Structure 1
Amino acid sequence: MNAITQINADVQKQITDAFNFRHACKLFDAERKISDGEFETILEAGRLSPTSFGHEPFRILVIQTPEKRELFRPFSWGANGMMSGTDGQLGTASHFGIILASTAETMKAGSDYLQNFYREVKYLPEDVIGMFNGAYGNFQSTDHNITTDREILDWSGKQAYIVLANMMTAGALMGIDSCPMEGFDMEKTTQVLEQEFGIDTNAWRPAVMFGFGYRAGEPAFDKTRRSVEDTVTWF
C-alpha cells in the first residue's frame, strides 16, 4: 500500500468513525465548552456549504446569552428537556443557535436582493447575471414549480439543512457532539426572533435549531440504520 492509498484509507476511517460517533445529543455537559477556534471551524463548514444556485439562502444565529436562550424554553419542547426532565440542550449546550431560511422576499427570481447578491457577493458580469435570472426563473416556475411563498421558504429550508449537516459532521470529526432540533413552535419562535432579536421576519424565518457541546453521558441506545442493501440501489 503506497502512502497516498494509506492516507485515503485513514481519511475514510476518520469519516466513518465520526458518523458512528455522532448522535442526537439530548443533554450536554454544561461545564465543558467548545474552544473558540473549534467553533469557528464548525461555523466555517456551514458558511462554505453548497446551496442551490449558490444563493446562500440562510443565516446562522448563535445564541450564547442564557437569558436570550430562555426566551425559547416555553415552546421549544425539542430543546427544553421536557421529555427527559433535564435542562435540555437550551440549558446545557456549549453553543446553541438557529439557522434562518430566506423567504420569497429575497429568493424570488429577479428580486432586488438577488441582483445585488450577484454583483456584490458573486462578482458576476451583467451578461452572466442575465443568464442567472433566466435559469433561476425557469427553475422556479417550470422545473420545480416553486412559486408560492411557502414553497420558496421550504426550498430555502432544504439549503439550511445542508448547512447544518456539514456543521455537525465537522463537529463530529473533532469529537464534538451536536443535535439538530425541529421541536419548537414555529409561529412563537418567529415572534421572539422579531421582537427580541430584531430579525426581519419578512425576509428570514427559522428553519432549525442546533446545539453543540460535549455529551453528558453515553447514548441510551446503539445507533441503528437500515442496511446498505435497503438504502442504496445500483443500476
Structure 2
Amino acid sequence: MKKSKHVVIYTGAGVSTSSNIPDYRGPKGIWTLKEKGEKLGETHFLDEAVPSFGHLAIASLHKAGYIHHVVSTNVDGLHIRSGIPIHQISELHGNIYKEICDTCKTSFYRSFDVLGRVKKRYTGRLCEQAGCDGKLKDSIVNFGEYLPEQELERAKQESKKADLTIILGTSMRVAPANILPTYSYRKGFPLCIINLQKTNFDSDATVRLFGETDVTLGYILEHLQL
C-alpha cells in the first residue's frame, strides 16, 4: 500500500456484519441460513446501523492517502457516513439514503431511509433542482435490474487505474461487479483478498487472508501507524 499510487478496494457484506447487518455466505449469513431452512434470529434495520470499525478504518486509510477509491455492493450507506467522499465511492447496488430524480437524474442524499413507499420505487418527493419537478425514486438495484450506469462506469475507470486491488468482506460472485478486479490484476498488479469464505479469485491472489475484516484492518492500521 505504501508503494502503490492508486489503490482500489472492493467491499461487500462482510464489512458490515459488525454493524449488526448479516452477510450472505458466512456462518450466520442470509443464504447460508436459507439453505439450512433456518431464519434470521432477529430483525435487522439498515437505517439503525452505524459504521463499524472496518468502515472507519477504510475511511482513515483513504484520508491518509492509502486508498483512492471504494467500490461497494452494500446498500447501507455506511462508507459515506464514515467519511468516504461521495465522488470517491461507487455504490453499485444503490444506497438506502439516496434518491434520484427520474427526470434530470440529480441525486439527493438524505439522513433517513428513502426506500420507495409508493409504486415503482417512487419516494413521494419531488426534485429540488430549479426548474425541475421530476419525481424522486430510491436508488436500490433489485434482482434482475441493471446496475446504475454512472456508478458502474466510474468503478470501471477506477479499476483500470488501480495498481493494487483489495477485495474485502465479499466473495465477489455477482456479475458484473466480479469482473472489475480483473482490469488490474490481469495486467500484473497485485491482488489482496481478505475474506473468511473462499472466492473465485483465490488462485489469482498475491496475498490471501482468511480473516475478519475488523481484525485485519486493525493490524493494517497499526502497521501503518494510523
User: Normalized against structure 1, the TM-score is what?
Assistant: 0.25
Name which structure has the greater RCO, CA cutoff 8 Å, separation 6+.
Answer: 1
- Larger Rg: 1 or 2? 1
User: Normalized against structure 2, the TM-score is what?
Assistant: 0.26
Q: Between Structure 1 and Structure 2, which shows a larger proportion of helix residues?
A: 1
